[in-house]
Amino acid sequence: MSDMSDARVMVFAPAPQLTVTIEQQHDQPELHVHPGGQGIWQTRMITSLGAEVILCAAVGGEVGRVLKPLLDFKGVTLRTIPRESGSGWYVHDRRDGQRRSLAEIAGSPFTRHELDELYNLALAEGLRAGIAILSGPAHPSVIKPEVYGRLAADLRANGCKVIADLCGDHLKAVLGAGLNVVKVSHEELIADGLSKDDSEKNLTDALLKLHDDGAEAALVSRADAGALALINEQIYRVGTPKLTLTDGRGAGDSMTAGVAAVLARGGEMSEAVRTGAAAGALNVTRHGLGTGHLDAVQVLTERVQLTPIKKAR
């Protein structure tokens, strides 16, 4: 893996959340307070892989005052706009090894003024970075799909590579604008009615449809079954090393991050997919979402196999 020091990715994370988790290691409960949300987990993994992130987000209220300094971690240039309403949050109890939600708030829908400010910020920083990840909000109601469609179209029209990790109407909106890469989970494809089930044939057909609808490359993560990828008009089965599962959440976000980090330094799409698969596989061995060490990802990348299974039509 070549030098990442000049690689930069703009991560559009419109509504990050404050996450509070209660855990029990020995006889004492432990409280963990972190920033969370899809874009934040992607940011963590991108910085773990040695690339820089320009994080574009909106924070507000009492929760936002706690959240904002937590977003400013190593490898991140933080760009935020203030919100009139409070940022979202959740409290999870993991003392018995399961994840139970005690309470959560996704956050209020953006006002028109907030959207204008955030849009201008993300557009400028995306064009500056040259590659952008559009990540989803905690709940679809927080930000309208057309904002994503407009941002994808404007970034692409001005030479920025766009990676989308979205589902539902937000995914439809960006496909209409055209994308360099789309990543979606098999559960999301089924929930969106794009695939009847998790069979390889139906997921492959869904990948072809995503490609026809506007994605140059498309990836579907399949929990522990290994991803499927459509790259350069060819569909591949992505074979990843089997690792012991600690926490399966966040593996798809780590995959998106790995793809972005490699593309940001000019790497090939096939290497980007292999690195993303390695990052996702490593993520499931750790409690922290979107975490993993660069050397471990590099070693695992060498063990990821891309097996061609079908030509795109």
Nearest to 10 by CA among 72, 54, 71: 54
Q: Which residues contact 281 (CB under 8 A, 6 or more apart)?
A: 240, 241, 243, 251, 300, 304
Are 186 and 221 a contacting pair, CB within 8 Å?
A: yes
HEC sequence for the chain: CCCCCCCEEEEECCCCEEEEEEEECCCCEEEEEEEECHHHHHHHHHHHCCCEEEEEEEEEHHHHHHHHHHHCCCCEEEEEEEECCCCEEEEEECCCCCCEEEEEECCCCCCHHHHHHHHHHHHHHHHHHCEEEEECCCCHHHCCHHHHHHHHHHHHHCCCEEEEECCHHHHHHHHHHCEEEEEEEHHHHHHCCCCCCCCHHHHHHHHHHHHHCCEEEEEEECHHHCCEEEECCEEEEEECCCCCCCCCCCHHHHHHHHHHHHHHCCCCHHHHHHHHHHHHHHHCCCCCCCCCCHHHHHHHHCCCEEEEEEECC
Are 80 and 11 a contacting pair, CB within 8 Å?
A: no
Task: Return the pLDDT at 249.
Answer: 55
Q: What's the rounded Cα separation, in Å, for the pair 138 and 3?
A: 33
φ, ψ of residue 235 to 5 degrees: the values are -100, 135
Q: Which residues contact 214 (CB under 8 A, 6 or more apart)?
A: 174, 175, 176, 177, 178, 179
Domain 8-311 has CATH 3.40.50.1100: no
Q: What's the rounded Cα separation, in Å, for the pair 159 and 77?
A: 21
User: Which residue is it, tokens 């990802």?
Assistant: 297
Task: Return the pLDDT at 293.
Answer: 74
Task: Return the pLDDT at 311.
Answer: 78
Task: Return the pLDDT at 289.
Answer: 44
Each residue's pLDDT, cut to its tens digit, for the chain (313 residues) gives 445 557 999 999 999 999 999 999 888 999 999 999 999 999 999 999 999 999 999 999 999 999 999 999 999 999 999 999 999 999 999 998 888 999 999 999 999 999 999 999 999 999 999 999 999 998 999 999 999 999 999 999 999 999 999 999 999 999 999 999 999 999 999 999 999 999 999 999 999 999 999 999 999 998 767 899 999 999 999 987 776 655 545 578 889 999 999 999 999 999 999 999 988 888 655 554 444 578 888 888 889 999 999 776 6
